[in-house]
Structure 1
Amino acid sequence: MTTVLLASFLGSLWTVAAVLDAPPSSYLLAWFGIVLALIDLRHHRLPDALTLPLGAALLLLQSHRLGEAALGALVFGGAHLAVRRLRPEFMGGGDVKLAAALGTTLSLPSLLPAAILASAVTLAIAAVKRTRKVPHGPGLLAATWALTTL
């Protein structure tokens, strides 16, 4: 049943991306996003075996704007690293690596809206699950997909 739901959700995201003539990174974010979000929601982990290849692939897709992509990764990942250093209970190391990977696809002006939207999604998940301990990865992934696709 979970596989059917995931396939349906992925199909929906790809359809939206196709209708909007979204960049190739939207399709990559949709696939990796669903898999990573599911893993993070179930296990509170973002495995390097998925986040690092995602980061490399997203960076390759941004080769036409490599400097801005690297700066986006540095700023978005650095901001999340600062939170991790100041309050480690708020964010895991996987979230920091994921934020750096996702920062490659975001323009510099969209980094702050991405952080705000990711936090809003994380808070919504916390409200639905009625717990304060929720992963931040799904929020990061949803916000990045939305900002790069819509």
Structure 2
Amino acid sequence: MTPVAGAAFALFAALSLALTVVDVRSLRLPDALVLPGYALAGVLALSDLLSGELERAARTAVGATAFFAGALLLHRVRPDGLGGGDVKLLGVAGAFLAWRGPDAVALGVAATALLGAATAASALLTVRGTPGATTAVPFGPVILAGTWWAIVVASG
């Protein structure tokens, strides 16, 4: 990993922590915290372009685009299930996972899906029979946990 990539990942880690805290407290992922993630992904891609790593640069851009587009489709189908901040965050996650490699993409998708299902099931079981209780669950921490797990354990 180059120093530029290392710095981008370190800043993404700090951003991930801030996003997790904000989403847990407010059930929101504000643009002011999510959108800088795209700038960090852009730094990764630009650094790769300048160093001749064209495939990795393209993979990063495609990952961001594919994750964002897939999440946007899910949001359009079920807006109450996946919020706009989650859609934007998934684009950032897709860029960092794709930069890391295909194994990270596969592991990140699987981990996020499993963590999301477990979190949703837990919320449903917790509030069942509780008058006035809500099953609203912050999905940002789930996205970030799955993403970081895959980034750390994936080969590539």
Structure 1 unaligned segments of length 5 or more: list them.
1-21
- Matches of 2:112 and 2:106 in 1, distance apart? 10
Shift of 1:61: 2.3
Structure 2 unaligned segments of length 5 or more: list them.
49-55, 128-134
Residues 1:28 and 2:19 aligned together: no
TM-score normalised by the chain length of structure 2: 0.72
Q: Which piece of structure 1 moves more, 102-111 or 79-88?
A: 102-111
Aligned to 2:52: none
Name which of 101, 111, 117 aligns with 1:123.
Answer: 117
Aligned to 1:134: 137
Residues 1:81 and 2:84 aligned together: no
In structure 1, what residue type is equivalent to 2:80?
E
- Matches of 1:116 and 1:25 in 2, distance apart? 24
Distance change >3 Å, CA 140–CA 34, structure 1 → 2: same
Query: For the Cα contact (< 8 Å) 1:29–1:141, is it kept in 2?
Result: no
Residues 1:92 and 2:75 aligned together: no
Aligned to 1:19: none
In structure 1, what residue type is equivalent to 2:65?
L
Query: For the Cα contact (< 8 Å) 1:106–1:147, is it kept in 2?
Result: yes
In structure 2, what residue type is equivalent to 1:121?
L
- Matches of 1:82 and 1:56 in 2, distance apart? 23
Residues 1:143 and 2:149 aligned together: no
Q: How many pairs are equivalent? A: 129
TM-score normalised by the chain length of structure 1: 0.75
Query: For the Cα contact (< 8 Å) 1:122–1:134, is it kept in 2?
Result: no
Residues 1:58 and 2:41 aligned together: yes
Q: Which has the higher contact order (CA 8 A, sep 6+)?
A: 1
Distance change >3 Å, CA 41–CA 53, structure 1 → 2: same
Shift of 1:24: 4.0
Residues 1:105 and 2:96 aligned together: yes
Q: CA RMSD in A?
A: 2.2
Shift of 1:29: 2.9
Identity of aligned residues (%): 35
In our comparison, the structure showing a higher alpha carbon Rg is 2
- Matches of 1:124 and 1:32 in 2, distance apart? 24
Shift of 1:62: 3.4
Query: For the Cα contact (< 8 Å) 2:45–2:58, is it kept in 1?
Result: no
- Matches of 1:134 and 1:111 in 2, distance apart? 24
